[in-house]
Amino acid sequence: MGLLDRLRAEFVDIVEWIDDTNHTLVWRFPRYQNEIKHGAQLIVRPGQVAVFVDQGQIADIFEPGRYELTTDNLPILSTLRGWKHGFESPFKCEVYFVSTRQVTDLKWGTPNPIMLRDRDFGPIRLRAFGTYALRAQDPKALLQELVGTDGVFEAEELGELMRSMILSGFADVLASSDVSALDLAARYEELSAALRQKVQEQIDDEYGLELPQLFIVNISLPEAVEKALDTRTSMGVIGDLQRFQQYQLGQAMTAAAENPSGGGAAEGMGLGMGFAMANQMAQGLAGAAPALAPPPPPPAPVAWHVAENGRTTGPFTVPQLAEAARAGTLTPASLVWAQGFAGWQPAGQVPALAGLFPPAAPPPPPAP
């Protein structure tokens, strides 16, 4: 390769940006001290704008298309360089490609709760999060205000700025909307549109950006308030609390009846629930029937005494005597006494206790 060929290799003859990213807003064409050849090809793809910057001054801007760089399509740069009669030699100039596509799936959220006054709950703290999209609308303003000399400018570099403006606008929109916290979910679309408009007014002229989309995905209440609402909702689902208690008692009685191993404890629990159910039913009937005199108190259980080895033991209840009969310590011949008896009587001859002793099996038939 001759000297002339090596010199020609130093010249840039194709200026283009093949964008393989989704979040890059601005990309500077890397010249590495190379000069752009007169007549070089500039390729601006759809969704891009090429901006020529000469010594810190924005010169010419190219929309999507294919261009041959001459003085005819570089009027401002020609004026800055003083090319009155055209030029034939290479030139140095910074070329910035600005993406005009939407950068989507950008997220925002409240790092700290926002304090507001709600019509139902009074002072309340709310959290929110959502998504938004950005697009470069004015490449000149974007380069001057935000990019500067940055070779690659990503949308994430605007994240902190955008979140600050969105959160500030979100608090204003909520306060001015006067929507109850319980009705916010039904107003997400309306609130999102108002918030997008408020933020757009701040970034349009100053930064050359457009906010084509902004969505409120969720607004949440504090955990304690959510638990209280869940409890309130549960009470509303239950409805008539008295009928619910009756249902619960009925379920418990059924479970106790299906558990034969419960013994005396299960019987006592069933008896207690029976009294409770009767009380609930009496209360339910009290509203439909005239008030009646309260029933008399139940009679006191009979106290039984047993004579064992020349001494008196007791008093015992009938269930306790039943346990003794099953254990074999109480037989039909055991002497018992209760209030009102003239004297001691065999337990097997007392009608109230005769059921404790099942009849003995008859003797087996004689062998054939």
- Over its length of 368 residues, how does the chain's per-residue pLDDT go in tens digits? 444 444 444 566 788 998 877 888 999 888 655 678 778 889 999 999 999 888 778 888 899 999 988 877 787 777 767 666 566 667 778 899 999 999 888 999 988 888 888 877 788 888 899 999 999 888 888 888 888 778 888 888 888 889 999 999 998 998 888 888 888 888 899 999 999 999 998 887 788 899 999 999 998 887 777 777 667 666 665 555 666 666 666 667 666 666 655 554 455 555 555 555 556 555 655 555 555 667 777 766 777 788 887 788 878 888 887 888 887 778 888 888 888 787 888 877 888 777 777 776 677 777 76
Domains delineated in the chain: 3-99 (no CATH), 103-226 (3.30.479.30), 302-340 (no CATH)
Q: Which residues touch 159 (CB under 8 Å, ≥6 apart)?
A: 106
φ, ψ for residue 225 (rounded to 5)? -70, -40
pLDDT of residue 241: 61
Distance CA 319, CA 325 (A): 10
pLDDT of residue 366: 75
Distance CA 363, CA 365 (A): 6
Distance CA 90, CA 25 (A): 28
Q: DSSP letters along 272-310, please?
A: HHHHHHHHHHHHHHHTTS---PPPPPPPPPPPEEEEETT
